[in-house]
Amino acid sequence: MSFFAQHTSVYAIDLLGFGGSRKADERYSAYSWADQVRDFCREIIGCPTVLVGNSIGSLVALTMAAESPTLVAGLIMASLPDVSLRQQAAPRFLRPWIEKVESAFSPPWLLNGLFKFVRRPPIIKRWAGLAYGLRQEQLDLDQFEEELVQIICSPPQDLGAEVAFRQLFSSVRQSHFAPSVKELLPTLDLPILLLWGDGDRFIPCRYGQQFALLNKKIEFQLWPGVGHCLHDECPNKFNQTCLTWLRRNFDKSFELSEPVVTA
């Protein structure tokens, strides 16, 4: 944020259920988060905005751009997931039955126990090792993981965090959780920067290569030796890449021309 604040207005949003936002007892979805971003852009910013997101944040940005195109000037997305691919893998007539079976094996008492287990610092540190394809020459891995674990461990301690976890666990398995990325991308008429790490263990880079073929306005970059969170693993490269793209697609100086919102 400090880097982009030198060139334009920057806003960061903690989506409902994440970070410092309220851990609400609601049905979460990419649509509801997109509504949150849309309202923020409309009521606070008041002009077309460049949306930047990583992972689920990129899916929210894409959803918002498709539903409110007049509010979005461009998209920068990293490690874009398409949860509909999981849903489409099963025959249509079987999907309701699969949802019922999954719900039957996800009682609240089991999810509460799972939540208390996965929010422990040792488990979060192990998850970070999978998410981040870090190399020792990039930064101090031990120091980075310690800071990262401290950041991630805080929100799960908030009031209502267990309920929010249960709701999110349940919502992400529903067919109406998010739109199909493959269906949305061809419909967009705006500049898109799509970034991916070839070491992403969560969302393989082959999906990014497939997505890049769906819209001629997509600029796709595959970064070697990088994992799921490019902005953390290679912050300088990420910042400079985004700034170069912004200047090329909007204003050469990019001085307060298009606001940037990160989700």
Tokens (6 digits) for 231 = 């902005």
CATH superfamily of this structure's domain 4-262? Alpha/Beta hydrolase fold, catalytic domain (3.40.50.1820)
Alpha carbon distance 208, 253 (integer Å) = 29
Amino acid at 201: R
Q: Phi and psi dihedrals of 232, rounded to 5?
A: -90, -40
Q: Supply angle C-alpha 237, 241, 243, rounded to 5.
A: 120
Alpha carbon distance 202, 68 (integer Å) = 28
pLDDT tens track, the chain, 263 positions:
899 999 889 999 999 988 888 888 888 899 999 999 999 999 999 999 999 999 999 999 999 999 999 999 999 999 999 987 755 444 454 445 445 444 544 556 455 666 565 667 766 666 666 677 654 344 445 555 677 777 777 777 777 777 777 777 777 767 678 999 999 999 999 999 999 999 998 899 999 999 999 999 999 999 998 999 899 888 999 999 999 999 999 875 555 455 666 65
For position 158, what pLDDT does the model report? 72
Through-space distance between the first and last CA atoms of the chain, rounded to whole angstroms: 12
Tokens (6 digits) for 150 = 């401290």
For position 136, what pLDDT does the model report? 39
pTM score above 0.75: yes
Q: Report the 10 Å Cβ neighbour count for 137.
A: 6
In the block, residue with structure tokens 């674990």: 149
For position 233, what pLDDT does the model report? 86
DSSP summary character for residue 191: -
3-state secondary structure of 88: helix
Tokens (6 digits) for 71 = 């509010």
For position 186, what pLDDT does the model report? 97
For position 93, what pLDDT does the model report? 41
For position 154, what pLDDT does the model report? 73
Beta strand segments in 122-244, E = 192-197, 218-223
Alpha carbon distance 69, 90 (integer Å) = 32
